[in-house]
Amino acid sequence: MAQGKTQLKIAYHIRKEEGQDKPFFARVGRAFENRDGSINLLLEALPLPVINKNGTVEQLVINIRNYEPKEKKDEESFAE
């Protein structure tokens, strides 16, 4: 990482729903890496724990990924 620059990171709660092919990514906050390598996590939402069929609470995982802006879609793609 370049001196004085910080890479914005996004925090997601990733959840696999029963019967769904792909997991669901819910954005729950953002994170910043400090100069010493530690990370500050700023949560905007708290995901609820998932209770599975056995009645036990599954592990709550927050995944942190580097922020990558999405390209703007053509306005034509939204035309009817």
Q: What are phi and psi of 49, to 5 degrees?
A: -65, 150
Determine, yes or no, domain membership for 43: yes
User: 67 with 8: CB under 8 angstroms?
Assistant: yes
C-alpha–C-alpha distance, residues 58 and 10, integer Å? 22
| pTM exceeding the 0.85 threshold for the entire prediction | no
Determine, yes or no, domain membership for 78: no
User: What digits encode the pLDDT tens for the residues 45-78?
Assistant: 988 887 888 888 877 889 999 998 887 545 544 4
User: 49 with 57: CB under 8 angstroms?
Assistant: yes
Read off the amino acid at residue 34. N
Q: Which domain holds residue 18?
A: 8-67
Determine, yes or no, domain membership for 39: yes
Determine, yes or no, domain membership for 74: no
Determine, yes or no, domain membership for 77: no
| pLDDT at 80 (0 to 100) | 46
